[in-house]
Chains A and B, each alone.
Chain A
Amino acid sequence: MAMKFSTEDFKERIKENIGDDFMRKAVAGAQERLHTRRLDAAEELGNWEEWRSHGEEIRQHVLENLDYYLHQLSENVASRGGHVFFAKTGEEASRYIKEVIQKKEGKKVVKSKSMVTEEIHLNACLEEAGCEVIETDLGEYILQVDDHDPPSHIVAPALHKNKEQIRDVFAQKLDYDRTSKPEELAMHAREMLRKEFLTADIGITGCNFAIAETGSVTLVTNEGNARLVSALPKTQITVMGMERIVPSFEEFEVLVSLLTRSAVGQKLTSYVTALTGPQGEGDVDGPEDFHLVIVDNGRSRILGTEFQSVLQCIRCAACVNVCPVYRHIGGHSYGSIYSGPIGAVLSPLLGGYDDFKELPYASTLCAACTDACPVKIPLHELLHKHRQVIVEKEGRAPVSEKLAMKAFGLGAASNPLYQMGSKVASTVMKPLTKNDRISKGPGPLKAWTELREFPAPEKERFRDWFTHHQKEKGDGKS
C-alpha cells in the first residue's frame, strides 16, 4: 500500500493524464532521446547480449543465495563499525530511522535520491516527528518544492515537467526571478541546497548496490549530491531494498556498466561512489555514525514464486523509457511511485491487487520492456502472469468477460461451432454493414467501433474459397 499515492480511479487518472499535453510532450521527447542514447551506448560497449546474460546471471545468483549475501553484508558492515537494521515492513524501517535521528537530536535531514524511501513514505514520517527533510537530487528537489508532487519516473522523477513549469514552481515557492534556462535553474537549486548540506546533521541515501564482500554501499549519480549527503552530516543512514546486493566489486562493475548505459545512455555517470562504514582513523571526512537499513516490505514474499525474477531489477527504467503505454499516460497514471512496466509488475506484488489490479492490463504485451531490460526480466510475461493470477486465483475478472472467454473457449476449440458461427456471420452482420465496414457495432464490437471501423465478415470465407480453388486446380486436396 505504501507506494500508492492516488485514491482516484485508474480510468480517471488515465483520462486526466492523457489530457495533459505538457506532460505528454515532455515524456515523448525524453523517451526518444533516451531510447537512442541507450542503443548507442549498448552498441559502443559491444556484445550487449552477452553483457545482459551476465547481468541476469549475477542477479539470479544473488536472489538464489540472498540469505547468504545478506548475512555476509551485515557482518561486514558491522565489522567496520556500522549498524545494520533489518526491517520487515516500511513502518519498521521508518520507525528505526526516526529513532536514530531522535537519539542524535537531529533536526535537519538531507537526502539523496532513493525510491525505497519513497516506497516506505519516510519523509512524511520524519516530518511528523519534527524533522526538516530536504531532497537534494535536482528532480526530487523540484517535486518536493512543488508541494510533494509524486515522482513519475524511477530515474528522472520530474520527467513530467518541462523547464517552464519548473521555473514557475521555483518562482512561486523560492522567489526565483531568473529565466527557464536549465543552467540557471540548476544554479539556483545548487545555491539553495549548498546551505542545507552545510547545516544538516543527518544524511540519508539510497543504495544502488550493496557489496557483500566488503560491506560497502554504492551510489550512482550525475549530480554529486549523494557525495555531499554522505560526506558532510555526522550521521549517515543508507536505506536499501533487501535484494540490492552484489557479491563483490567484480559483479558490481558489470551491473553498473549495464545500469548507466540502460538508464541514461552513459558509459558511466559523473559520480560512482562506494562507501564503506563510518569514518575510519585517518579519514578526513565521512560520517561518524553509519546505519544500513535493509528493507523487506513484501520482497521476501516474492522470493520463490513465479514472480521472483522481478527482484532482479536494478532500477534503470529502460523498460519505462521504451513503453508505448507509459508514453501516452505518463507515470502518475499508475498511481504508484513505481510506474511503467516494472511498476505494473511490482506494484501489485508489493502493494496488493486491491489498489493495483488494473496495472497488468495497461500493456499490449508488446515486449519492448523485456527487450530493453539489461538483466533480462521477462516483464511482459510477468504482466501476463498477473492477469492469469487475477483471473484464475483471485477470481477478480468481470463476469461479462468471464462469459465471453468461456464462449471463446468453446468456439475456438470446436470446429463445428466455429464453422457455423463464421458461416452465418456475414448474414447476421449485414444490417450493420455499409461499404464493407461496420461503424457502430453491438456487444463486444461496441468498444472497438467507438474508435475504429470494423471490417464486415467475408461473404465467402477463406476456407470456402480455398476449397473451390483446389477443385479448380483439379487436385482437390484439402
Chain B
Amino acid sequence: MKVSLFVTCLVDMFQANVGKDMVEVLERFGCELTFPQGQVCCGQPAYNSGYVEESKAAMKNMIQTFEEAEYVVTPSGSCATMFKEYPRIFKGDSEWEPRAEKLAGKTYEFTEFLVEVLQVEATGAKLEGKATYHPSCHMTRLLGVKDAPMKLLNEVEGLELITLPNAHNCCGFGGTFSVKMGPISEQMVDEKVASAELTGADYLIGADCGCLMNIKGRMERKGKPVRVMHIAEVLNSR
C-alpha cells in the first residue's frame, strides 16, 4: 500500500522521533512510504486565529503537494481534521473545492489508518508500565476517531491502561490560545497534569503533537515524573 506521509510542521521541526516511529510501524505492516517534500503546514494556526485568507495559500500548497498521493497519513488528529475542513473552506471555489474534496477523502489520522485501513490492532509493541490516554479534542469530536487508539493500546504487551479523570476536557493548547489566553491555558493544562498524576501513570499518551507539547512542556516546567508519549512512540516500543 502506498502511503504519503504528512508529518506536520511540529513533527518535522521539533518531534522528528514521532515521525520516525510512525515510519517504522507503517513499514512493518508493509506500507510503501513517500514524503512529499513540498509540505509545510496545514494552515491551522492562522486559520483558527481568524486569518482565513492568509491561511488559504498554505492550504493550496498542501492540496498541490498531496495531489498524487493514494493515502495521506498523519500523526496528528488536529491536522487531519484541518485537511478534512478544506472542502468547507473552499466551498464554491470551482478550482479548489474539488481538489480539496479529493485530499480530504484520502486523509487518515495514523491510528485510524492502522485500524480502519490496514485492519491492524495488535502491533506487537511492548511497553512495561501504567499509562493513561488523553483523547485530544479535534481528533475525538471533529474527526470522530475515538476507538482506534484504545484498540491499539489495549494490545500493547505490558501496558496497563488507567482512565484519565475528566479526560474529555481540553488540555488548554488550542494553538494560539495557549499564548493569547495564557492565564486560562495555564489553569487548563494544570488540571490535565494533575489528572494524569492522580492516575499514578508512568506515561501520558496522546495522538496530537500540539496537545502533547503543551502537556509535556508544563510537566517539564513543574518537574513532574510522568513521561509524555505520542502513540506512535508507544506502538514502536519493543
Contacts and interface: CB of A to CB of B under 8 A. Distances in A.
Given A388-B50, A401-B49, A364 B174 contact: yes
Interface string A443-478: 010011011111111101111011101100000011
Given A371-B141, A461-B13, A462-B11, A451 B43 contact: no
B184 A391 contact: no
A366 B141 contact: yes
A412 B187 contact: no
B168 A447 contact: no
A384 B176 CA distance: 13
A384 B45 CA distance: 12
Contacts of B20: 462, 465, 469
Contacts of B185: 364, 451
B159 interface: no
Contacts of A325: 181, 184, 188
The number of chain B residues touching the other chain, given as a range, is: 35 or more
Most chain A CB neighbours (cut-off 10 Å) among B49, B172, B178: B49
B182 interface: yes
Nearest to B217: A452
Contacts of A386: 50
Contacts of B178: 448
B220 A453 contact: yes
A462 B54 contact: no
B52 interface: yes
A324 interface: yes
Contact of A18 (B16, B51, B168, B187): B187
A324 B188 contact: yes
B16 A462 contact: yes
Contacts of A387: 48-50
Interface string A413-434: 1110010001001000000000
A408 B45 contact: yes
Given A14-B184, A462-B19, A392 B53 contact: yes
Per DSSP, chain B at the interface is helix
Interface stretch (B32-40, B100-108, B110-118, B120-128): B32-40
B130 interface: no
A298 interface: no
B169 A362 contact: no
Given A452-B221, A453-B220, A466-B19, A391 B182 contact: no
B22 to A, nearest CB: 10
A20 to B, nearest CB: 12
A164 B213 CA distance: 40
Nearest to A394: B50
Interface in B1-21: 5, 7, 9, 11-16, 19-20
A15 B183 contact: yes
21 contacts: A15-B183, A364-B185, A368-B170, A392-B51, A401-B49, A405-B46, A408-B54, A412-B46, A413-B57, A415-B39, A415-B61, A447-B179, A451-B221, A455-B213, A455-B216, A456-B14, A458-B15, A461-B13, A462-B13, A462-B19, A463-B12
